[in-house]
């Protein structure tokens, strides 16, 4: 069984640029959620995708957007990067209608904005 994978591992961008992060969900999981984790803090929910549509969103501006593909993989796009966007971005997958409390997280992508 393949776990959740994310790419790239690390990324350095300049303020104002755009970035795309990628996530492959665990086999059999059709729901993907994205979280932002600033240094020393707990993860904060960005949004979730199910059946290629956004299915819930946290308190993040519209410049944070996403996609889910037919194979359930997902992308997180952030436009007009700000210094405060520097964080670990985590992807989590789960089966819809299953035991939703148990989400499976990937190792994350460390984004640094300079």
Please report, as ranges, the residues that interact with another protein according to CB under 8 A: 4, 31, 33, 35, 40-45, 48, 55-56, 58, 90-92, 96-108
**What six digits make up the tokens of 63?**
């410049």
- Least Å from the CB of residue 32 to another protein: 11
DSSP at 39? T
First to last CA, the chain: 37
Q: In angstroms, what is the minimal distance from the CB of 113 to another protein?
A: 19
Select 6 or 81, whichever has its Cβ closest to another protein. Answer: 6
- Given the complex with another protein, which of 18 and 27 has the nearer CB atom? 27
Q: How many CA atoms within 13 Å lie on the side-chain side of 45?
A: 12
């Amino acid at each position: 069984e393949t776990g959740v994978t994310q790419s790239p591992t690390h990324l350095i961008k300049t303020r104002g640029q755009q970035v795309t992060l990628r996530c492959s969900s665990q086999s059999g999981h059709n729901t993907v959620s994205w979280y932002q984790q600033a240094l020393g803090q707990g993860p904060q929910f960005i949004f979730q995708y199910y059946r290629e549509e956004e299915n819930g969103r946290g308190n993040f501006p519209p410049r944070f957007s996403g996609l889910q593909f037919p194979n359930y993989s997902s992308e997180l796009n952030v436009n007009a990067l700000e210094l405060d966007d520097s964080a670990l971005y985590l992807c989590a997958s789960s089966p819809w209608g299953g035991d939703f409390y148990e989400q499976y997280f990937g190792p994350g992508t460390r984004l640094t904005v300079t």
